[in-house]
């Protein structure tokens, strides 16, 4: 599967899921999928993770643009890893972070906020783009703290 196709597919899935929720729910409205555990709850997030920097959309947009440029640079200028599998993990992790940052940036530019809707009741409401970023960061941390990975 082409990396460009994967990028387009992940961003598309993120955006379509957000549009579907926006069409069906009003802000702060919730639908139980698994009662008291998993709900679909529409939240307009004007901040970043855990609501930090609330109402600083312009600053968060600039940070996202900077992150996207940095990730593109990192994809071109690759570090040396001890095996091909670690190099692939590095690339996939960066691609996932790139897709998540792009998906949320699209929301910020288009709507002025990020659409969050996945509600686990014990965690702040999030979206697919947030999940992509989180998965990518965990893989990067694994690689950075795994001494066998880096030459």
Provide the residue-wise pLDDT of the chain in tens; the chain has 151 residues.
688 999 999 999 999 999 999 999 999 999 999 999 999 999 999 987 766 667 778 899 999 999 999 999 998 887 777 788 888 999 999 999 999 999 999 999 999 999 999 999 999 999 999 999 999 999 999 998 886 766 5
Q: Would you say 119 and 39 are in contact if contact means Cβ atoms under 8 Å apart?
A: yes
pLDDT for 31: 97
Residue spans per domain, the chain: 38-145
Category of 78 on φ-ψ map: left (φ > 0), alpha (ψ -120 to 50) or beta: beta
Question: Rg of the chain over CA atoms, in angstroms?
Answer: 17
Active-site positions?
Answer: 116, 130
pLDDT for 50: 66
pLDDT for 150: 62
pLDDT for 45: 94
Nearest to 60 by CA among 133, 109, 110: 109
């Amino acid at each position: 599967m082409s990396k460009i196709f994967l990028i387009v597919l992940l961003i598309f899935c993120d955006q379509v899921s957000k549009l579907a929720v926006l069409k069906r729910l009003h802000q702060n409205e919730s639908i139980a999928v698994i009662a008291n555990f998993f709900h679909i709850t529409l939240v307009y997030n004007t901040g970043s993770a855990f609501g930090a920097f609330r109402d600083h959309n312009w600053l968060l947009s600039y940070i996202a643009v900077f992150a996207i440029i940095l990730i593109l640079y990192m994809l071109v200028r690759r570090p040396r890893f001890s095996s091909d599998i670690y190099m692939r993990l590095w690339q996939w992790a960066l691609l996932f972070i790139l897709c998540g940052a792009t998906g949320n940036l699209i929301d910020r530019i288009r709507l002025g906020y990020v659409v969050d809707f996945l509600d686990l009741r014990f965690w702040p409401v999030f979206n697919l783009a947030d999940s992509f970023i989180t998965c990518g960061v965990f893989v990067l941390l694994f690689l950075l703290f795994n001494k066998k990975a880096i030459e």
